[in-house]
Amino acid sequence: MVNRIAIIPARGGSRRIPRKNVIPFRGRPMIGWTIAAALETELFSQVLVSTDDVEIAGIARAEGAAVPFLRNAKADDFSAISDATLHALGQAEAHWHTRFDTTVQLMANCPLRGSHEIAAAVSAFEKCAPRDFQISAFEFGWMKPWWAMRLQPDGQPDWLFPQALDARSQDLDPLYCPTGAIWIARTEALRSAGTFYGPGYVIEPINWEAAIDIDDSNDLRMAEALAMLSGTPETK
């Protein structure tokens, strides 16, 4: 049996939305949706929340996650998220006296990513061996990046893909954007590479609603609207 750990990084500091990881979303703390989705899969030996914040730790425990220790490093604005996850992994293996085969990183601020998306991503990772690294991404929809431009100071456009200007939208290849919703790696490969973007990393698409990663107030409003439209029930 594969010994998997789900790690949910959730530091206390957040600038664009203060206390982002625990603000209310549809009746429960933001992080609670990710914890619930991970637990519902029944795929993980441990669902660990890695945080430097006592309040977040208490909320995470109440939601059912394991928080046997606080993060004691990699909790600043400059540390890469992979570094924080690797640090948490080391703490976890020392605490539980075990070695995890697979590490799944789930961002706390993706409340529309459910257990189905996590299970499907893990299944793809395991069935398409030998994958060492898998990054989630979503297909761009009505915002066509093929027609992206920079604006010069005089208002003139600097087209990023000038070859696409004369093409019909239906004739253009789909383009994808990475999302932090579900990142997976073989633990030893992750430890060696120091990043989920390790050698030969593979992209695994998920639907764009599940991919929403809330960083600012516009993201939050969109996620709340989508949750209401999809009938996502509020918790009481």
Question: So what's the pLDDT on residue 125?
Answer: 97
pLDDT of residue 192: 98
Is residue 77 within 8 Å of 13, Cβ to Cβ? Answer: yes
pLDDT (tens digit per residue) in 88-118? 999 999 999 999 999 999 999 999 999 999 9
Asked if 61 contacts 10 with a C-beta cutoff of 8 angstroms, the reply is: no
At residue 14, the pLDDT reads 77
Side chain identity at residue 70, one-letter code: L
CB atoms within 10 A of CB 62: 13
Read off the pTM. Answer: 0.93
N-to-C CA span, the chain? 36
Predicted local confidence at residue 230, as pLDDT: 77
Q: What is the pLDDT of residue 141?
A: 85
Domains, the chain, ordered by start: 4-140+175-230 (3.90.550.10)
